[in-house]
Amino acid sequence: MAALALIVAKAGGRALMNNMDRILDSIAWASREGHRVVFVHGGGDIVTEYSRRLGVEPRFVVSPQGVRSRYTTWEELEVFVMTLGGLLNKRIVSGLARRGLHPVGLTGADGPSVLASRRKRIVVVDEATGRKRVIPGGYTGRITSVNTGFLNMLLRAGYTPVLAPIAYDPEEGVPLNVDGDQLASRVAAALGADVLAVLTDVDGLFLNGVLVERLGVEEALRLVEEGRIGKGMNRKIIELSRAVEEGVSRAVIVNASKPNPLEAALRGEGTVLARQG
């Protein structure tokens, strides 16, 4: 890997809220070192908190592949835009600006930078009976394209894009909730990132209680297919594997609580997914 890298870093809401200063310090370190960084953030817990404050009870569904995700009604989408695109995004932007960076807080609707199509229907598994059924898709999107020209323009000008997991549906003209791991994967693949670093609250992927330090894409997807990777982590493995297949040099799952998690990711700590096992 070249001395200076294009890094797409993603932190889920829980890892971010528990390690906010450490993550922002790490992004600032990477930028000072000359790396270019695009930061994608989640924030499911804060969405849940504000949804309940507003009388909107969150709902979750499980796909036939065992992937658990939030079911997004229009009311909850409004909370997504308010909390992730507004409150949390600007908290992150303010923190990076305080560290001397030039952050630009975005959703996919800005630019627009990320396009998606609304899932009209989805297949879910009833967790009580185990039966599959088809339900309306709500306002969850599947990413279709990334405006790399816009993001590269910001990076070349010295800005740090900070992306909330909200995309834009050009067909219906509405914002959509998209999974943060999907967003980071699609952005990393589109930009041809050197490293996709997913910062979590664990050290990486564990199998039978042992940390997997390196994993080939084919083996990773086989483990998902066999059901050997738990809910939550299986989504990350699927998305990271796809990013590597589409040109990202390597994807790393690393603990956000490390003193400098992006430096740790660049060193290959945690679990590294690459084309060769």
pLDDT digits (tens, 9 = 90+) for 34-56: 999 999 999 988 999 999 999 99
Average pLDDT in the chain: 93
Supply the pLDDT for residue 276. 65
173-185 pLDDT, tens digit per residue, is: 999 999 999 999 9
**For the residues 185-194, what does the mean pLDDT come to?**
98
Residue 55: count of CB within 10 angstroms of its CB: 7
Q: Which residues pair with 115 in a beta bridge?
A: 145, 168
User: What are phi and psi for residue 260, nearest 5 degrees?
Assistant: -140, 85
Supply the pLDDT for residue 140. 92
Tokens of 175: 């914002």
222-235 pLDDT, tens digit per residue, is: 998 888 888 779 88
**For the residues 132-142, what does the mean pLDDT come to?**
91
**For the residues 231-247, what does the mean pLDDT come to?**
92
Q: Which residue has the higher pLDDT, 12 or 88?
A: 88
| Domain annotation for the chain: domains and CATH numbers | 6-274 (3.40.1160.10)
Supply the pLDDT for residue 25. 98
65 has pLDDT over 70: yes
Which value, to the nearest 10 degrees, does the dihedral of the CA atoms of residues 71, 78, 178, 106 take?
-160
Residue 84: count of CB within 10 angstroms of its CB: 25
Supply the pLDDT for residue 247. 93
Among candidates 195, 95, 178, which has minimal Cα distance to 143? 178
Residue 259: count of CB within 10 angstroms of its CB: 9
Lowest mean pLDDT among 82-96, 190-204, 219-233: 219-233
